[in-house]
Amino acid sequence: MNLSLMEKFGIIFRYLFSSFLSIEMFILSLLLFCVLIINLKRDNKIIQMVAIGIYIGFVIGILISYTTYVKSCVHSFMKAIMNYIYFPSTVVYFFIIVFVTVMILWTLFSKKMTYFKKVFNYAFFSILYFFFMSFIALAAYDGVDLLDTAKLYQNDTILCFVQISNFILLIWILYTLFYHLYKYFKNKYD
C-alpha cells in the first residue's frame, strides 16, 4: 500500500462520513474527549463517573453489535496467547529480559517498595536471568540459530527454559497486580 500520508487521512475522512455507524462512533469518541477535558478543569467525581459510563457504554455497544466477531477475536487472541506460551518468539523473549532489567533497576532505586516486595522481585528476576542465560548458553552450545524457531524449539531443554520462564513471569505479573490492588484498597479504605 503505497499511499501518502494525505491520502491515508483522506481515506479515514471519507470513512468518517460513510455510514451512520462511523458517525456514531465519532460522536461518542468526541463526547468522551469533551467529558475528559471538562474533568481536567473541574476534577469532579460525577464527571469521572460519566466518562467511565460513556466508555463502558461504548464497549458494551460494540460487544452487543458485533457479538460473533468479538467471540471470534477473543478466540483468536486466546489462541495467540497459548501459541506464544508454547512457542514464544525469541525477539519477544529478549524484550522480556529488557523489561526484567528495567524492573530490577526500578526495584533497586525504589524508596516506596517494601522490603518483602523487593526480595520477592529480586528472587523472581534472578530466576528469570538464570533461565535466559541458560537459554543463550544452550543455543550457543548446540549451534542453534536464534531466528530459526523451528530448530530452536526442537530442542526440548531450550523449549522448557523459555516456557517455564514465561510462566514465572506471568506469576510475577499476577502477584504484582494483586499486590498493587491490595495496597490501593488498603490505603483507600484505611
pLDDT digits (tens, 9 = 90+) for 9-21: 888 888 888 887 7
pLDDT digits (tens, 9 = 90+) for 150-181: 777 787 888 888 888 888 888 999 999 998 88
Query: What beta strand segments (E) does the chain contain?
Result: none
pLDDT digits (tens, 9 = 90+) for 69-99: 888 888 888 888 777 766 667 777 888 889 8
pLDDT digits (tens, 9 = 90+) for 49-63: 777 787 788 778 778
User: What is the pTM for the complete model shown?
Assistant: 0.60
- Per-residue pLDDT for 25 more than 70? yes
